Amino acid sequence: MSNTSMNVSVIGTGYVGLGTAALLAHLGHQVTGIDIDNQKIEQLRNGQVPIHEPGLDALLESVKGNLDWSTSYDSVARADVVFICVGTPPGKDGTPDLQYVASAAEKLAPHLNGHAQVIVNKSTVPIGTGDYVQRLLEDHAPGYSHERHRVVSNPEFLREGTALQDSLYPDRIVLGGHPDALQIMARLYAPLIEQTFTPPASAPRPETYTRPAVVNTTLQSAEMIKYAANAFLALKISFANEIAGLCERVGADIEEVATGIGMDTRIGRRFLNAGAGWGGSCFGKDTAGLISAGREHNYNMPILQAAIDVNTRQRQVIIDKLIRHMRSLKGKRVTVLGMAFKPDTDDLRNAPAHDLIARLYQLGATVTAHDPIAMPRARREWAHLTYREASSVQDALHRADAVIIATEWQEYRDLDWSALLPSMRGCVIIDARNIIRTPIDAHVEQIGRNAPAAVPVTR
């Protein structure tokens, strides 16, 4: 073990936990990943990664000498830093559920040792959770010391599908807590901050990248930064979708409009893509979490609520476009291409496709769904939905009356529609991700723009 190497425990082996463990192991630290799910731990010990994230399996394999996996919290006793990377799902009123954070804190506390240890909230948590975790450590750690056992907020800003690049070459590292604890975190992240590590083959360092900014702040500000960042990105997407609706009515093109306003450096082009709306585990949950925090303090947040309302409406916009072409969906075969909330992941949380499939079935359609990666996960997580799983795009489109493109997978961007359309019974395509760029012999509807001028449909 090198002089700069530290012992780290990572509690939780989901998207954030696995990414954190892989990153820290690659930086040269000795890492133990902890999860109460025996099956998941056995998978990881056998080299099987339970989630789909490009490059993660190769990175975990390359650093396996620095990694251990366990269902026990024993490694916490020798850890210099303990990361809490567990889920904080929203309750019915949008308030984040902290039961998994509390459970992790209570279980790690008895293992805290006599040396200086930092407990890091990596999970997205409500403002004030750092203080809450500190109190839990006081109550459950027999040898608790306020000077030795500090809580830090270190939110993640990873995008699923590009998590390795985001982890290794971040825009910024946000650290909130006591200065003594932040010094330990600076040592832990030194190879990342100084960019002295060797880039993995699966995630080369961008040519123009130098080093991340480091934001040292309070617990509360660090927690707020994470929520506010995600809420602002959700606002941008909902804003683009709201403008797209008006573009359709006045004859403007949302992509040209987004490009034009995005050239303003105060705005930027990213996250101005109109489509089916945002999904995933962060934007909806974190926006609702901020609204919930405002409600606790008798503070109304109408802009954030509007962002959620527009995003919910966007699902119905897609259904409405389909109904305008087909009148009734009873007895019709409708194919949904894409189930994951975005490409290059198998994450189904808050995916637009879920709501589309549910609504199509409710309206009497027979639904077929396809996704290059997410179908196995959907069998487990979407068992409550009624749809037929297609083995291929060709199978999905066979005898379909209509198609909805719900996820912008590269495979769907590259489709040869001239070869696929003859197998369909109908010729309606609702391109909810605006990925069809050349004219095809079908009725194509896009979001906020006219589809490429097509050859007149003769079928």
Instruction: Give the residue numbers marked as catalytic.
Output: 282
CA dist list (Å): 181 to 15, 27, 42, 219, 222: 25, 19, 33, 11, 14
b/e burial code for range 101-130 (CB count within 10 A of at least 16 → b): bbebbebbbebbeeebbbbbbbbbbbbebb
Write down the residue that tokens 């009725």 correspond to.
Answer: 443
**CA-CA distance, 371 to 392, in Å (whole number)?**
8
**CA-CA distance, 49 to 41, in Å (whole number)?**
10
Q: Sheet holding 388-389: strands in order across? A: 388-389, 366-370, 333-337, 402-405, 428-431, 443-446
Put residue 94 in one of left, alpha, beta given phi > 0 → left and psi -120 to 50 → alpha: left
Q: Choose among 162, 131, 135: nearest CA to 19.
A: 162
Helix (H/G/I), strand (E/B), else coil: 81: strand
Q: Sheet holding 213-217: strands in order across? A: 67-70, 30-34, 7-11, 81-84, 117-121, 149-153, 172-176, 213-217
Helix (H/G/I), strand (E/B), else coil: 256: helix
Write down the residue that tokens 């909230």 correspond to.
Answer: 121
16 CB-side CA count, 13 A = 21
Residues 123 and 87 sit within 8 Å (Cβ to Cβ): yes
Q: Residue 36: exposed, middle, or buried by beta-carbon count in 10 A (0-12, 13-18, 19+)?
A: middle
Residues 19 and 158 sit within 8 Å (Cβ to Cβ): yes
Question: Can you read off the two tokens belonging to residue 175?
Answer: 């650290």
Secondary structure element (H or E) that encloses residue 136, with its range: helix 129-140
**CA-CA distance, 397 to 403, in Å (whole number)?**
7
Show the DSSP H helices in 156-300 as ranges. 163-168, 179-188, 190-194, 219-250, 254-262, 283-296
For 136, residues 6+ apart whose C-beta sits below 8 A from its C-beta are 102, 105, 106, 109
